[in-house]
Amino acid sequence: MPATALSWRRLSWCIGPLFMLVLALLTLASARADTAREPLRLSRQDGGMAAVHALQVLEDDSRALTIEQVRSAPDIARFAYPQDPLRGKEADRVLWFRLEMRLADPADASRDWLMVVPTVSTHEIRFYGPFDADGKALAPVVVTGMRHPWASRPAASEQMAWRFRLPGPGIYTAYFRVESTFARIYDVKIWDPVDYLQSTQDKRMFDALTYGLL
């Protein structure tokens, strides 16, 4: 075999494993970067603050997981950031969502927030937390949805909404469980409550009359 051909073959033997190693390292780095995504830095924004990029999702095939289970280490590890979060994938299923948040401005510790899940067809939605760094829930569970009376909706809104507060610096984690025939990943936004109520005033009056008559 000519010396040149032999040299190229030896070079390919060296480059092949090296290329695979580099590819594996890049994949691992990408996975770690995804896992280490920063918590949502919460601030007041016109039109609400988009939160979908920070949402982690877990599909509950058993439809029986509890909040204690999804907050345990094995199930926390199963939460993932979806690749194409707003692409419609309607199906009869149960989804758990996990959102880590922190205040962009510590002065907002006295502010209320409203998490709005833009759905009107959810059978049931349960909001848990937020939980502080010690795992303590800072508010009772809120349960609402089509199966429940209109009075169960914290913002008197057709869309599902949840009022909460972050009492100071640090990372807080909220969970919500969605059970729906059209369960999908939602374009969740976090609003200042006054801004949201003002922006939906006419719609809420119509909804209150409509649902009140049903």
Return the CATH class of domain 40-213. Answer: mainly beta
Q: Which pLDDT band, with edges at 50, 70 and 90, does 195 fall under?
A: very high
pLDDT for res 213: 46
pLDDT for res 129: 97
pLDDT for res 148: 86
pLDDT for res 37: 83
Going 76 to 96 to 89 to 81, the CA torsion angle's sign is negative
pLDDT > 90? residue 80 = yes
Residue 165's CB: how many other CB atoms inside 10 A? 15
Question: Could you tell me the strand order of the sheet in which 189-191 lies?
Answer: 49-50, 189-191, 113-117, 160-164
d(CA 140, CA 154): 13
Q: Which residue has the higher pLDDT, 8 or 185?
A: 185
DSSP code for 137: B
Of 4-13, 23-32, 101-110, 127-136, which gets the smallest average pLDDT? 23-32
Q: Where are the domains of the chain?
A: 1-36, 40-213
Query: Strands 55-59 and 124-131: what pairing?
Result: unpaired
pLDDT > 60? residue 190 = yes
d(CA 174, CA 112): 15
Percent over 70 (pLDDT), the chain = 75
Contacts 24+ apart (CB under 8 A), 78-81: 80/56, 81/34, 81/37, 81/53, 81/55, 81/56, 81/57
d(CA 95, CA 100): 17
pLDDT for res 33: 43
CA distances from residue 63 to 74, 78, 142, 146, 212 in whole angstroms, order as listed: 17, 15, 18, 18, 31
Q: Which pLDDT band, with edges at 50, 70 and 90, does 121 fall under?
A: confident
Instruction: Decide: residue 49, CB within 10 A, 0-12 exposed, 13-18 middle, 19+ buried.
Output: buried
Rounded to two decimals, the pTM is 0.77
pLDDT for res 75: 96
pLDDT for res 186: 84
Three-state DSSP at 9 gives helix
User: Contact at 8 Å (CB) between 55 and 185?
Assistant: yes
Q: Which pLDDT band, with edges at 50, 70 and 90, does 110 fall under?
A: confident
pLDDT for res 31: 42
pLDDT for res 179: 93
